[in-house]
Chain A
Amino acid sequence: MDQFIPGNKKAPDGSAPFGAKKGLWGILISQRLAVWLMGLEIAALLAGSFFMEQSKEVAGAMNGSFPLYLWITGGPLALTWWLWAAILLLALLTINTLCCSIESIKRKKGGLLTLLAPQIIHAGFLLILVAHLASSLGASKLTGQLPQGAAARLPGFDIFMDKVAAGPKKPYAQVELVSGGAILKRGVLSPNHPVFFRGYGIYLQGLTMEPYPAAYIEVSREPGATWAFFGGILFTAGTVLLVLLKTGQE
């Protein structure tokens, strides 16, 4: 039976701890720093969740039609401080994550898969952060009613509402994306089935048949979506690998 040895200063895998090195690099690669940063990040998000509950109108604007960047830079610090704190901590955690990964690769301890699994997770995490950054700077959302037979103008093309119908199972709307009289794309919008074109997503949010058939549509740009998806895939792949390795080892 394995027993923990009192006073054992080694990690469970028997390695010397990260951060045993001195100086700035020693601090940057330290797991202690990672633990502190994650703990403080949790505290910032915890504060944010209670703030959101107390200032619903202000917090509601975080999911508004403009990028988060405008919300955080335009709002008073008394209302946005927790998000500033969360961003600052995430920035430090990013540096810590990168440095830890570099140090792990330099040390080359253990087998290739043991070395790779945490780095793949770290890469996935960083991609997700890049995604949030891209979306915070460039996301936008427009909503409105588009009657059947009418069109809405977007940069570079128009959305023409061809047909709106309640449908036997779910509502749908047929749209044509046109420019200069030419149809660039035809599509059918329904719940969970948007149409994507030139970086825009066109969504059906509802429809009405009275007093005239019309669809409520949302046009959004989410520049971080692809990054977030691939970040998530990497993160999962790394965690699967870690689970397989640790289940065998521990």
Chain B
Amino acid sequence: MNLIWLAWASVPLYLAGLFKRRLLFAGGLAQAAYLLARGVMLGRIPLVGPHDTLIFLAASLAGFSFLFHAAPEREKAFRILIGAMAALFSFFAMLAPPFEGVLPPVLSTYWFELHVGLSFFSYAFFGIGAALGAIYLLRREAALEKSQYRFILSGYLLFSVAMIAGGVWAYLAWGSYWLWTPKELWTSIIWLYYSLYLHLRLRPGWHGKNTALAGAIGFILVLFTYLGVGLLMKSSHTF
């Protein structure tokens, strides 16, 4: 049974989520159900190609955003930013055709699933951190910057584990845990950038406006690494 309508339904749900947080959650649930159905149909985790991964990212954004709790005014701005990002990612996902072919044998491993799944979870955490940073820049409430820090630190952890899983997988598949390609370099750039963010936050006079901005900019690097490098540069991540 084709449940693509569930994926389509998530776009208006996310847009409605700009006004009501429960609808944001409903959008995430619709996408989770769609991915689950696709996974059952394909017999694997559906994480290949921009259709699947953008939906996975949007659902992760919506899902993990529920870890943030705040007073209604702050929550409203947060809900609008997360809803807008999730709707945008979902819309672009629907423009890309779903990949339904047989996976190359080299992708049939838990290391691949762990690598990709955790990468997108970390992107979602970085995205939430960016949203919180943007709201901090408007409202200047210390609690927002602290929440941003917590999300980015958690994203950094997930990202690091994802990179280790990727290294183990590459070593088992190609005999090298590291390949010199633009994708790997940009991955290192993200990792170094968030390391820089974490160190900047320890610098006197830097935490607050500067780190909030730095945390928000980081997500632009993440999006470029995810979408831009794949589109513009030759990569080991093209299958």
Residue numbers of A with Cβ under 8 A of B are 1-4, 8-12, 17-18, 31-32, 34-35, 38-39, 41-42, 45-46, 48-50, 52-53, 56, 59, 62-63, 68, 131-132, 135, 139, 141, 170-171, 190-194, 201, 203, 218, 220, 222, 224-225, 228-229, 232-233, 235-236, 239-240, 242-243, 246-247, 250
Contacts and interface: CB of A to CB of B under 8 A. Distances in A.
Nearest to B201: A12
A101 B193 CA distance: 20
A41 B177 CA distance: 21
B143 A1 contact: yes
Contact of B202 (A31, A62, A141, A225): A31
B106 A192 contact: yes
A9 B106 contact: no
Interface in B110-160: 111, 141-143, 146, 149-150, 153-154, 156-157, 160
B180 interface: yes
A135 B180 contact: no
Contacts of A18: 202
Interface stretch (B1-9, B19-27, B49-57, B181-189): B181-189
B101 to A, nearest CB: 16
Contact of B196 (A11, A38, A139, A242): A38
Contacts of B111: 192
A224 B171 CA distance: 11
B238 to A, nearest CB: 13
A236 B154 CA distance: 11
Contacts of B163: 232
A17 B192 contact: no
Contacts of A192: 105-106, 108-109, 111, 169, 172-173
Given A46-B189, A191-B105, A228-B177, 17 more contacts: A2-B142, A9-B204, A10-B204, A32-B203, A35-B203, A42-B193, A45-B188, A53-B232, A56-B234, A132-B178, A135-B176, A190-B105, A191-B108, A192-B172, A222-B171, A235-B160, A239-B160
Nearest to A71: B180
30 contacts: A1-B143, A3-B142, A11-B207, A38-B196, A45-B185, A48-B185, A49-B186, A49-B189, A52-B185, A53-B233, A63-B179, A63-B180, A132-B178, A141-B176, A170-B105, A191-B173, A192-B105, A192-B106, A192-B169, A192-B172, A203-B174, A222-B177, A224-B177, A229-B164, A232-B160, A232-B163, A232-B167, A235-B160, A239-B153, A246-B153
